[in-house]
Amino acid sequence: MEIKVTPAATLKEKPDSSTLVFGKAMTDHMFIADYNEGQGWHDARIVPYAPLQIDPAAKVLHYGEEIFEGLKAYRTADGSIQLFRPRDNIDRMNKSAQRLCLPQIPEELALAGITKLVEVEQDWVPREKDTSLYIRPFMIGLDAALGVHSSKHVQYIVVVCPVGAYYPEGLNPVKIFVEEQDVRAVKGGMGMAKTGGNYAASLRAGDLAEKAGYSQVLWLDGVHRKYIEEVGSMNVMFKIAGKILTPDLNGSVLDGITRRSCIQLLKDWGYEVEERRISASELFEAAENGTLEEAWGTGTAAVVSPIGELAMGSKKVTVSNNQIGEITQKLYDELTGIQWGRVADPHGWIMKL
Ligand SMILES: *Cc1c(COP(=O)(O)O)cnc(C)c1O
């Protein structure tokens, strides 16, 4: 499909890349493609970045008919630009689409929307260490009627913005609070889909944790309220007695691309990785008997995020002396090394622009 480009009449001033705030400095253009039942995808276009005109009765505004993705474009030392596993994001978007009755988007169209937009905005891909261009593709249901049905008119949109390191102060361990009231998702719900509704469900616990001095919550499963699922909006991994443990993809855990990449690297390095149910009590027992060696979250935005303290009710434990663990650091160095083109990419994860 041809992509029509309408350049912006005036270009914005680019922000100072040493003081970027995550997700704020949107660029000059955006990609849009329309879908109508019977007609399929059409009118792929790059247009000046601007507010969308949406009918107030549009389904997305009332019933959360929305899915999204998150990935980054990286500037390498030779000035070229590359993406990390972008086809995995599109594949996941189509899985999310299935869950929310949104249409499947052809991989080549979804990818072209990303690559063409990054090409148009290439001067926005920052050059400073640890900076990148964050890419946010999303799909919304636009039928203007309040009946509860899936939409026949849908848009796939991509917006991008330069971002700095997720933690500007560096890779410091964060404090995590085990959430025992709210749940993020349940089996049979939308946990495996990357959709706004799961984030709406997570806001209250996140706000309360922040007020109590914690940076994220550790989510438990919605059925037994016992088993660990994710940390904030990241997947979570533990090193217990030399082995790596991570919750299995049980339907309410999101299939993270960083998670998948970490599991591969850990196996390459000879670690045993177990994907299985892990109860919060197993975790706290391991912490108390000294076998919990490391804990970290994984996700595109932060890459890996070391966990230094865990609290559940009145119990509090420290992980690896509140220092970044050896494996956590090694995963961060290797993944960011591949992403910015500083180390070899043996698994073919990089797509050059
Ligand atoms: C996006 C996301 C992740 C991380 O996925 P990546 O592909 O590694 O960025 C983990 N959990 C949730 C709930 C997410 O939305």
How is the chain split into domains, by residue range?
4-163, 174-339
314 φψ region: left (φ > 0), alpha (ψ -120 to 50), beta (else): alpha
User: Is the model's pLDDT at 167 over the cut of 80?
Assistant: no
Could you tell me if the CB of 216 is within 6 A of ligand 1?
no
Query: Would you identify the CATH topology of the domain 4-163?
Result: D-amino Acid Aminotransferase; Chain A, domain 1 (3.30.470)
pLDDT: which is higher, 24 or 156: 156
Average pLDDT value for the chain: 96
The fourth-level CATH superfamily of domain 174-339 is: D-amino Acid Aminotransferase, subunit A, domain 2 (3.20.10.10)
Question: Which atom, in ligand 1's list, is nearest to the CA of 184?
Answer: 13
Average pLDDT over residues 61-65: 98
Question: Which atom, in ligand 1's list, is nearest to the CA of 71?
Answer: 9
SS (H, E, C) the chain: CCCEECCCCCCCCCCCCCCCCCCCCCCCEEEEEEEECCCEEEEEEEEECCCCCCCCCEHHHHHCCEEECCEEEEECCCCCEEEECHHHHHHHHHHHHHHCCCCCCCHHHHHHHHHHHHHHCHHHCCCCCCCEEEEEEEEEECCECCCCCCCCEEEEEEEEEEECCCCCCCCCCEEEEECCCCCCCCCCCCCCCCCHHHHHHHHHHHHHHHHCCCCEEEEECCCCCCEEEEECCEEEEEEECCEEEECCCCCCCCCCHHHHHHHHHHHHCCCCEEECCCEHHHHHHHHHCCCEEEEEEEECCCEEEEEEEEEECCEEEECHHHCCCHHHHHHHHHHHHHHCCCCCCCCCCEEEC
Confidence at residue 144, expressed as pLDDT on a 0 to 100 scale: 97
Could you tell me if the CB of 299 is within 6 A of ligand 1?
yes
Could you tell me if the CB of 246 is within 6 A of ligand 1?
no
Q: What is the pLDDT of residues 280-299, one digit of tens each?
A: 999 999 999 999 999 999 99
For ligand 1, mutation pick of 194, 199, 332 (most atoms within 8 Å of CB): 194
pTM of the model: 0.96
Could you tell me if the CB of 195 is within 6 A of ligand 1?
no
Confidence at residue 170, expressed as pLDDT on a 0 to 100 scale: 75
Average pLDDT over residues 6-22: 91
User: Is the model's pLDDT at 21 over the cut of 90?
Assistant: no
Residue 17: band (very low, low, confident or very high) from pLDDT cuts 50, 70, 90 = confident
Cα 10 to averaged position of ligand 1 atoms, centre (Å): 35
For ligand 1, mutation pick of 88, 234, 259, 262 (most atoms within 8 Å of CB): 234
Could you tell me if the CB of 300 is within 6 A of ligand 1?
yes
Q: What is the pLDDT of residues 253-267, one digit of tens each?
A: 999 999 999 999 999
Cα 5 to averaged position of ligand 1 atoms, centre (Å): 31
Q: What is the pLDDT of residues 315-351, one digit of tens each?
A: 999 999 999 999 999 999 999 999 999 999 999 999 9
Average pLDDT over residues 62-72: 98
User: Is the model's pLDDT at 168 over the cut of 80?
Assistant: no
Cα 66 to averaged position of ligand 1 atoms, centre (Å): 16
User: Is the model's pLDDT at 77 over the cut of 80?
Assistant: yes
Q: What is the pLDDT of residues 187-243, one digit of tens each?
A: 999 999 999 999 999 999 999 999 999 999 999 999 999 999 999 999 999 999 999
Question: Which atom, in ligand 1's list, is nearest to the CA of 259?
Answer: 8
Closest C-alpha to ligand 1, atom 5: 256
CB 263 within 8 A of CB 271: no
Residue 286, amino acid:
A
Average pLDDT over residues 293-306: 95
Could you tell me if the CB of 254 is within 6 A of ligand 1?
yes
Average pLDDT over residues 52-63: 98
Average pLDDT over residues 127-137: 95
